[in-house]
Amino acid sequence: MGRKDRRIILICQCLVNPYCRVHILGQNFPLSLEITGYLLRKNVGIIQYPCPETTAMGLMRNPQGRLQYDNIFFRSHCKELLKTPMLMVREFIKNRYRLCCFIGLENSPTCGIHWGRHKVNRYGTESPNPEDAPAKDDPVLMGIMAEILSQELSEEGITVPFLELPALSDATSPKRQLFWKDLEDAVSPVVEQADKM
C-alpha cells in the first residue's frame, strides 16, 4: 500500500479573510466559506500569505490598478511577505506533502492571474475597472504578488496550476463552474502504482 496523498495549497489571504479586501469593494464571507469549506472537506491544508495591499497600505486604502503597485518598493514588500509561506511550502514538500495549486482572485492587481487592460481614471492612472471590450492582443499579466510567487516557486523547481477565483462572476456562470472543475482536478488525490495493485 502506497502512502496517503497529503495535499496543501497556497491561497491569497482575502479568500480566507474577506476583511482584507479594499473597503469599498465589500467582503464576501459566503464565498470564503464555500472555498475554505470545500478544501477542508477534501482534507487539503491551506497556506495563506499576508495580504500585501493591506500590509503595505492598511485597510482604508483606495482601489488601485496593477501599474500603481508595480514598483520596486511594493515588489520588495511582496518578497518579504512570501519568506515564511515559502519556508512552509518547502517544509511540507520535504515531508512528502503535495502542493496542488495556488488560488488567486480575479481582477486583483496583486493576486490575480489574468490582469488585462484596465480603464484609466480621471487622474490618468490605471483604475481597478477592466476595459469593457479589451482588444485580442492586449497583454495579460499576473498580479504583482502572483508574479513574484510564480518566480519563487520556479526557483524551487515547483510547478503547480495557478487558479483564479472569479468572485465577480455569478455562482452558476461558466467561468465559476470552470474554476471549480480546475480546482477539483488540482486537488484530486493521486493514485500511486502501489495503490492500484
Query: Rounded to an integer, what distance in angstroms lies between the CA atom of residue 97 and that of residue 137?
Result: 39
H or E element that contains 161 = none
Candidates 135, 25, 28, 118; CA nearest to 66 is 118
Q: What are 55-107's pLDDT values in tens digits? A: 999 998 888 899 999 999 999 999 999 999 999 999 999 999 999 999 999 98
Residue 1, pLDDT above cutoff 50: no
Q: What order of strands is seen across the sheet that includes strand 6-12?
A: 44-49, 6-12, 97-105, 162-165
Q: What are 108-121's pLDDT values in tens digits? A: 999 999 887 788 88
- Amino acid 143 reads G
Cβ atoms of residues 121 and 165 within 8 Å: no
Cβ atoms of residues 8 and 46 within 8 Å: yes
C-alpha cell at 57: 497600505
The Cα angle at residue 72 between residues 68 and 73, in degrees rounded to 5: 80
Q: What are 119-141's pLDDT values in tens digits? A: 888 887 887 777 776 667 767 78
Q: What are 152-180's pLDDT values in tens digits? A: 999 999 999 999 999 888 889 999 999 99
C-alpha cell at 82: 512570501
- The domain segmentation of the chain, as residue ranges, is 6-196
